[in-house]
Structure 1
Amino acid sequence: MPARAWSALLLLGAAGMLAACDGSQPLIKRAAKQPGPFPAADRPVANIVSSRWSNEEERDRLNEAGAVMDGARIRPGMTVADIGAGEGYYTIRLASRVGEDGRVLAEDIFPAVRDALGERVARQRLENVSVRLGRPADPRLPANSFDRVLMVHMYHEIAQPYEFLWRMRPSLRPGGLVVVVDANRTTPNHGTPPALLRCEFEAVGYRQVSFDDMPSAGGYLATFEAVGARPEPAAIKPCRIASQ
């Protein structure tokens, strides 16, 4: 067979491998297109100093978890994600609140912290709790799965908030809320000014639903819902907050 004809045959064979038998779908799947670059946060980022915000006895004395769960309207049967779960103060109490018909997914970005929390969950036989490892810019939550996503005293530690919030958005069920508890102070001082928090959420297509001072939790509680279409990363406009 002439070389030119042989080359043509090889090309036809390769094309056939990429097409399905009925010619409608490729047999070899191409990698999903990755989103474009996200804008950088125009603010300092707090260092992660501990997996514990305060000791559990003191927090319970102030009814911190109870007040937050009430403010977030967390009810039996809900599915809740606890982001930055640390030692599991909220995870344990959320498991009791949502009950056997609910689910809690506890996540941290440090393998050792995740493993310690997994041991605690197993020791206490919390069958409605799962523990997993997240990434600094991606909580890796399954889509359309959560009634509430809880972020307690950790938002100011997120170095890439726009990417994080963008990737988290699809995980909310219809009517689902993101619940943020933080202190009203600058991010280097381990807090997030409310105006900055609202601006960063709105930049990724969320709307603030509520905002309440919550001294028992060391600051405030804000809730957000996803509205409209998720913006393309290149269309996200970073916030400029003078107080930072």
Structure 2
Amino acid sequence: MRLRAPAILLLGALAACTPAAPGSDAEVKSSDFPAAHRPVAPIVSNRYSNEDDRDRLREAVNVMTRSGVVRGMTVADIGAGEGYYTIRLASRVGEDGRVLAEDIVPEVRDRLAERVNREAIDNVSVKLGEPADPKLPEASFDRIFLVHMYHEIGAPYEFLWRMRPALRPGGRVVVVDSNRPTAEHGTPPALLDCEMAAVGYARVGRLTMPSAGGYMAMYEARGERPRPSAIKPCILSTSAPGTPAPKNPHDR
């Protein structure tokens, strides 16, 4: 059954036109960013579903193929959990590619590192991230994957802002999530579009993907990164569920 998303007032798209403030990112404080005006789902598990069941549906294969992952790429798996995508991305990019797998829970990070060592996967690095900052190296990634975790990001504008410099030219952010409210462990596509646009990402593709539990959306960074103070948050509407989302009032 297809779940209906709440209507959303899109207020953030043109913030990306304002150049970023001078100085290093380390000088930018969390308090400089707007808060998320929507519920944030708690982290309830480091596993989305059983890996064998996911493989029977060809989830990772479909996502990697549709997102254009090929041999030799450098990719990041943020919120990697037990490593379902990490392991399969490592195989897809091959010995000439690299995978950075990251989680914010130390115990989960440690278990994934043990799995990578146990399976002798040489092209994967595992690190600990922070809830509002993935701490990725600049200009390093062809693809950054956020799989069934976006709704758990408590400070999406700061997270996306700090993540953006890590993309290489032409690099893409790949989001896989369910089409339902964030409080129900999903992200309505219109809300995702708005929050991404507020930080200067443009959607370049979206596919309904039942095999991945919902949909896959891809984004590229466009223009200058906005000043944190210029980012306009996306506001959940009080309209009844199923009502079409109104257009961004800044659009022409």
TM-score between both structures, scaled by the size of structure 1: 0.86
CA displacement at 1:34 relative to structure 2: 2.6
C-alpha separation between the residues in 2 aligned to 1:33 and 1:233? 12
Give the total of aligned pairs. Answer: 215
**Aligned with 2:211 (options 188, 211, 216):** 216
**Aligned with 2:157 (options 145, 155, 162):** 162
C-alpha separation between the residues in 2 aligned to 1:222 and 1:32? 29
**Aligned with 1:50 (options 45, 54, 66):** 45
**Aligned with 2:28 (options 31, 34, 46):** 34
C-alpha separation between the residues in 2 aligned to 1:133 and 1:33? 21
Name the counterpart of 1:132.
127
C-alpha separation between the residues in 2 aligned to 1:178 and 1:226? 9
Rg larger in structure: 1
Name the counterpart of 2:105.
110
**Aligned with 2:197 (options 202, 211, 219):** 202
**Aligned with 1:87 (options 82, 86, 89):** 82
Per the alignment, in what secondary structure is the counterpart of residue 41 of structure 1? coil
C-alpha separation between the residues in 2 aligned to 1:79 and 1:142? 12
2:28 maps to a residue whose letter is Q
Contact preservation (8 Å) 2:25, 2:162: no
CA displacement at 1:202 relative to structure 2: 0.1
Identity %: 68
C-alpha separation between the residues in 1 aligned to 2:100 and 2:107? 17
The 1:214/1:31 distance shift into structure 2, 3 A limit, reads: closer
CA displacement at 1:31 relative to structure 2: 11
CA displacement at 1:164 relative to structure 2: 0.2
| Runs (5+) with no aligned partner, structure 2 | 1-23, 242-252
The 1:162/1:121 distance shift into structure 2, 3 A limit, reads: same
Name the counterpart of 2:226.
231
**Aligned with 1:171 (options 161, 166, 170):** 166
C-alpha separation between the residues in 2 aligned to 1:72 and 1:202? 19
CA displacement at 1:240 relative to structure 2: 1.1
**Higher relative contact order (CA closer than 8 Å, sequence separation 6+):** 2
C-alpha separation between the residues in 2 aligned to 1:53 and 1:91? 14
The 1:98/1:32 distance shift into structure 2, 3 A limit, reads: closer
Per the alignment, in what secondary structure is the counterpart of residue 235 of structure 2? coil
| Runs (5+) with no aligned partner, structure 1 | 1-29
